[in-house]
Chains A and B, each alone.
Chain A
Amino acid sequence: MEEKKPKFKPNPKLPRQALPVLNAEVRSTSAREVALGFSAEQVGIEAQRCLQCAKPTCVNACPLHIDIKSFIVRMVEGDYQGAHDVISEQSPFPGVCGRVCQHELFCEDACIVGKKWDPVAIGSLERFAADHARLRMKELTAEEPAHPTGKKVALVGSGPASLIAAYDLARKNYRVTVFEALHRLGGVMIYGIPNFRLPREILKEEIARLQHLGVEFVTDFIVGKTATVEDLFEEGYEAVFIGTGAGLPYMMGIPGENLIGVYTANEFLTRINLMEAFDPEADTPVLVGERTIVVGGGNSAMDAARWAKRMGSETIVLYRRGREELKARLEEIEHAEEEGVVFHFLAAPVALYGDENGFVQEVECIRMELGEPDDSGRRSPVPVPGSEFRIKAQTVVAAIGQAPNPTLQKATPELKTKRGKIVIDEWGATSMAGVFAGGDVVRGGSTVILAMKDGRAAAAAIDRALNPQVEVAAEEVTQ
């Protein structure tokens, strides 16, 4: 896209616009999206706060290198469609990323305005451009879908890593097939992230853009079970990308863990998000009692707690460290608190007790103190002897992290792994010729945006491997 000279005078001193949200009372009983998005007026103000830096640090900080500077100029001019086109050069997922990407850690963290004032609300602007584009999504996908004619590439898993790889490869005329184990597309974005953070239609529409580019999606297909990686090569795929995510939940390893009403965050969220158990008419149930205790301090813990609250349960998040150490996004923590989720810090469960039918009734906890910093740099919790106490609860959710799902690795012994994670080189290539990997199956529990970053890097590596004459541009190389 051509460089646009800004025709406006940047004014970083204007107040950073706050994202309007549904009020806490309404949302504590509803699956409706919490964040409502900027008004056009707010967009006008917020976009003007951008300095249009000669060397935009935000663009570099964005894992997808979206041309933030250019899309913001167009936002100032009210050319939202143009802004969406600029974003689309790098990402077909502004609706998803405008909602779930941790802008505060990437573009907004790098924003120069933030050195003196609050950074430009890039995430909310991205989201506005995306929401505006929804109005013409039909038009974007109206013409005949593309029919790529190039080499065949298989992407395993339909989460963020595969989806961005699909976008990059399809645009380079590769014939891309995405294989998904579940019956719906999106990976963690469909089974893990709640509707109230990422409405399903947004995800569906942005995936539809890929279908329109000629990407083929196959659900109910488990690579490693339905077919092996080798089968895929035999069927004419010339490269395989593994983006199967981190789908193996850790258990708490305490007595009573198998009582009824005790869920891993994965199960709890899958029942509600994927199987729609929030809807009382749905066929898949979930047990949410009068009180729910969610164990953990990450984003899944917040998602589970906020669902439990919405389903009428008094909800407590039990975290073994302190508030400072919570791993969840600040925004999620604040939203959870506003909705009435209560936090108990410096406490961990040690045992669960049930009734005679095996339904959980009580959680025995122990208080913690923070000791020396551990490998993660956070102070590690140490139990305080004799400080046990009990809390009644009919639902317990263990949101204590997960390891990569081992299904494909088990069926593919040639793949080198380390503690369950697939080992890759700096290009995203695995130990098996023609096989690449990225996202949580390589990183362990990480984020949507870093998975996308990996997917993009792998797509570039696949392109280089299948078309060796392609020149390598500096920005295509993973740092």
Chain B
Amino acid sequence: MTRILAKRQLAPEVYLLEVEAPRIQKRWKPGMFIIIRPTDQSERIPLTIVDSSAERQSITMVIQAIGKTTKEAVALPVDGALADLVGPLGEAATMTTGKKVVCMAGGVGVAELLPVAKAFHDAGNHVTALCGARSDNYRILDEELKAGVDRLEWATDDGTFGFHGNVVQLLKSIAGPGDFEEGHVIGPIPMMKAAAEATRDWGLKLHASLNPIMIDGTGMCGGCRVTVGGEVKFACVDGPEFDAHLVDFDELTRRNRAYRDWEAKTMERHACRIGLDVR
């Protein structure tokens, strides 16, 4: 059992959860993740570690409550507990120093980007963060990002804040080949794919943090496999970060949809059981 120390809503459907995790807070590095099970019946789901506090012996995660398991997680009260939490998993994000770095994220990916962007900055890079949200009220962790990087730009789909458009359009509007040497991208697959496509000839080393379906997170099942440069990799142990220009994003998109029909049915059942209308 893992005690929940704090919970805060950041945007519609998006929650920050701080939980007690003395060992993980000591050992994690930016880019690593954890696996949780909110209840004893839940699926195991991976979540990127967003922050930690030595003083509070805690780590922080940000959850977008869109499926049954994520909804269960954010429904838990402060001082309540997650049934399970294990980590830190995966390899740390690739770091560099003295470079011009671009960090891109969309949706809750913005939260997941935060520790990596800060780490790049602390390692002596010049960091530009490009963050995307559906609309102004979906923007998250703006203050924290601003404090952690050299330059922060927002793009919103509806133009209610910052650049009108998506993150990759924003990138293309402010930069071109040679402007950045290293980059990190995390968020929805179409966005990561577009970022990779846009920068293919930019001479930019772009790392993508992938989010395939996982079970154990320790290399035991192979469910998280992705194709990178024609080779099969297990994202939980070989990643989650890979060379964005070599990732087969189309395959990842398909594999992440494997249980979509099934999930729709579960949500329906779940909604019926707790007496809610579906949607």
Contact = CB atoms under 8 A, between A and B. Distances in A.
A285 B262 contact: yes
B87 interface: yes
B220 interface: yes
Contacts of B262: 285, 287
A208 B244 CA distance: 48
B129 to A, nearest CB: 28
Interface in A92-143: none
Nearest to B224: A267
Contact of A260 (B218, B222, B258): B258
Contact of B23 (A191, A226, A281, A283): A226
Contacts of B41: 282-283
A467 B110 CA distance: 55
B218 A222 contact: yes
Contacts of A401: none
A284 B44 CA distance: 8
A220 B84 contact: yes
A376 interface: no
B43 A267 contact: no
B227 interface: yes
Contacts of A264: 221-223
Interface residues of B, number: 40
Q: Chain B CB within 10 Å — which of A181, A183, A359, A407 has the most?
A: A183
For chain A, give the interface size range: 35 or more
Contact of B266 (A222, A251, A283): A283
A48 interface: no
Contacts of A405: 218-220
Nearest to A224: B218
A227 interface: yes
Interface in B26-52: 27, 37, 41-44
Nearest to B89: A225
A226 B255 contact: no
B222 A266 contact: yes
Interface string A335-373: 000000000000000000000011100000000000000
B219 A258 contact: no
Interface string B58-94: 0000000000110000000000000111111100000
B254 interface: yes
Contacts of B6: none
Given A183-B37, A249-B222, A283-B42, A222 B215 contact: no
B232 A257 contact: yes
B86 A227 contact: no
Contacts of A222: 86-87, 89, 218
B220 A283 contact: no
A219 B43 contact: no
A395 to B, nearest CB: 12
B222 A247 contact: no
Contact of B254 (A182, A260, A266): A260
Given A258-B232, A282-B41, A407-B237, A357 B254 contact: yes
A406 interface: yes
B130 interface: no
10 contacts: A181-B86, A182-B216, A225-B89, A249-B221, A258-B225, A258-B232, A266-B222, A282-B41, A283-B68, A357-B254
Interface of B: 23-24, 27, 37, 41-44, 68-69, 83-89, 215-216, 218-223, 225-227, 232, 237, 251, 254-255, 257-259, 262-263, 266, 269
Given A181-B86, A191-B220, A257-B232, 12 more contacts: A183-B86, A226-B24, A226-B86, A249-B220, A249-B222, A258-B251, A267-B215, A281-B269, A285-B259, A285-B263, A357-B257, A405-B219
